[in-house]
Each structure stands twice: as C-alpha cells, then as structure tokens.
Amino acid sequence: MKRIIQALTIALVGCTTSSVFAQSMNVDFDMSNEEPESCFLPTNDYAAAGNAGHWNSINNIFGEMINPVGGLRDLNGDTTNAIVDYDDETAAFCHLNPDIVDINHRALLSDAWYLGYLGKFPDVITFQFTGLQNGTYEVITYAFIAEDASSITSIDVVGSPEGPLLSGGEWTGSPVEGVTHVVHHVDVTDGTITIPATKIAGLDNMVNGFQLTLIPPDCPADIDGNDNDVNVFDLLALLSAWGTNGAGAGIAAPTDVVDVFDLLGLLGAWGQCSN
Ligand SMILES: [Ca+2]
Ligand SMILES: [Ca+2]
Ligand SMILES: [Ca+2]
Ligand SMILES: [Ca+2]
C-alpha cells in the first residue's frame, strides 16, 4: 500500500487543487458613489443574514445597473463570470433611515432599487443573475423600507420550491426573515437566477440587495480538501487511512473502517460532485 501511495504522490507533482464552489456572493444596491455622506457599502466582515465577505457595490447611472468591471466578485473578492441586471425602467436611490443605527445594516438597507412609487416606477421589476456556476443556491433577497412598515413586496425566485414570499414590516434592530428579507432555494442549470419583485402594499417598495450562496452538494467521497471534486487527492487520503476509521471510512458500510467498499464508492463517485 505504501508503494502505491508513493507512486501516486510522485504522479501528482505539479497538480494543484482548486476550489470550484467559490461562487457565493453579496450584492448591495449601493449609492455610496453618489451620496457618500449618507449611503455606504457594508464592510467585508458584515454577514447580514448570510455570509460575511466581499460586498459588490451595484450602482445606478441613468437607470443602468453598473456591475463591477469584469463581473461580480465572490466572497473572497475574486472575479466571477456572473453579472446582475434588471428588465425595466426604474432607478436606485439613497435615503437615510434614522432608525437603522448599525452602520452596516444601514449600508445595506438604506439604498435600493425602487418599484411602484406612486405609479412613477413599475409595480413589477425582474432582477436576473446570469453567468453563474450551475448548482443549488440559497438566495436571500432584501426588500425593506424602514420608514414605511406598511410597505410589502413579494419576491419570487423562478423555479424555487418556496415560490413568492412577502417581505416588509417594522424594523426591529436587525435583519428578520419575512420583514427585511426572504430566503429561497433554486437549482441553477443555465447559469441564471430570475427574481421578480412585485409591489403588494405601501407607498414605495425597495429591493436593497442580494446574498447568493452556492450550496455544496452532498458528496461523502470528497474527503480531502472539501473541494467538491473526487480526485486523486481523495484517493490518496483514503489509501492513507486504509484499515482505520479515518478519512473515507464513512463512504460505505461498515462506516468504522476504510476498506474496499469505500474504495469502490470513491471510484464510483470520481469527478465533480453534483446534486
Ligand atoms: Ca449601500
Ligand atoms: Ca442597498
Ligand atoms: Ca476532494
Ligand atoms: Ca467503510
């Protein structure tokens, strides 16, 4: 066994692993470029209701949604192929929410794309992410206006099991599901997530931003690096733990020992993990 591991290790010189699921991202519809004294971009340590990490500032020039040069950045700040856009004529605004004291909550929730303002803007706006890596995503949509607890917005994520969900109500000091935001899940097969937002009640309605999380598939054979890829590194980890209760023992029963059934399970799952 040792010799096999040594041979495989030698064969691997020059190979590197890479994280293939680095496509989780935070998006703030953000007017900090135009009104820096009132509106801000959240800091990277701000998780809101999702994950902390880089926040993309998506601003507005004459109704055009302006994405970062090269595409949206993931939570690490690395460029992805994804962009976000919308389908209608509206605008983004900055407005002060004196009730929202926390600077990062304010940074996310005080600037937004408007819909349904006294008929000035459409009652339905559809946002769309394109160029995403395929997989299962959790989608958090912020649709909240602190000044108007009667403002209710319906958010749908096309293809999600949850369907349309309502967002709106009283500010309580922190993000609350169903008040400041809603949570959907969706399987992405063509790189696209489509999110219609509909005014239900209130004077004006706002969509403040999004958090997308690519959910890693359940992949018990991915025992090395948790990179959602079953490859020779996982095989090496399994062989290193042969006969013990170490890495790979749980791929196949009996789950307290790494044996040939685990090896067969790993080989059967070879390649990219998928849902
Ligand atoms: Ca902002
Ligand atoms: Ca915002
Ligand atoms: Ca792996
Ligand atoms: Ca086993």
CA of 265 to the centre of ligand 4 (A): 9
CA of 256 to the centre of ligand 4 (A): 6
pLDDT tens-digit map of 202-224: 988 999 999 999 998 888 999 98
Residue-wise DSSP of 197-227:
EEEEESS-EEE-EEEEEEEPP--TT--STT-
CA of 250 to the centre of ligand 1 (A): 45
Residue 4, H or E segment: helix 2-11
Give the rounded distance of the alpha carbon of 250 from its chain centre: 29
Paired with 113 in beta bridges are 92, 207
- How would you list the strands of the sheet with 92-94, edge to edge? 92-94, 111-115, 205-207
Tell me how far apart the terminal alpha carbons of the chain are, to the nearest angstrom: 32
61 class by beta-carbon count within 10 Å (0-12 exposed, 13-18 middle, 19+ buried): exposed
Residue carrying the six token digits 């090269």: 70
pLDDT tens-digit map of 104-146: 999 999 999 988 877 778 899 999 999 999 999 999 999 999 8
Smallest Cα–Cα separation from 194: which of 92, 63, 68, 84?
A: 84
Q: What's the pTM?
A: 0.81
Kindly identify the ligand whose nearest atom is closest to the C-alpha of 21.
3
Kindly identify the ligand whose nearest atom is closest to the C-alpha of 92.
2
CA of 31 to the centre of ligand 1 (A): 6
The three-point CA angle 16-19-23 to 5° equals 150
Domains of the chain: 2-18+217-272 (no CATH), 25-215 (2.60.120)
CA of 70 to the centre of ligand 3 (A): 29
In this structure, which residues have their CB less than 5 angstroms from ion ligand 2?
Answer: 28-29, 111, 208-209
Kindly identify the ligand whose nearest atom is closest to the C-alpha of 38.
1
pLDDT of residue 15: 41
**Do the beta carbons of residue 211 and residue 27 sit within 8 Å?**
yes
CA of 98 to the centre of ligand 4 (A): 58
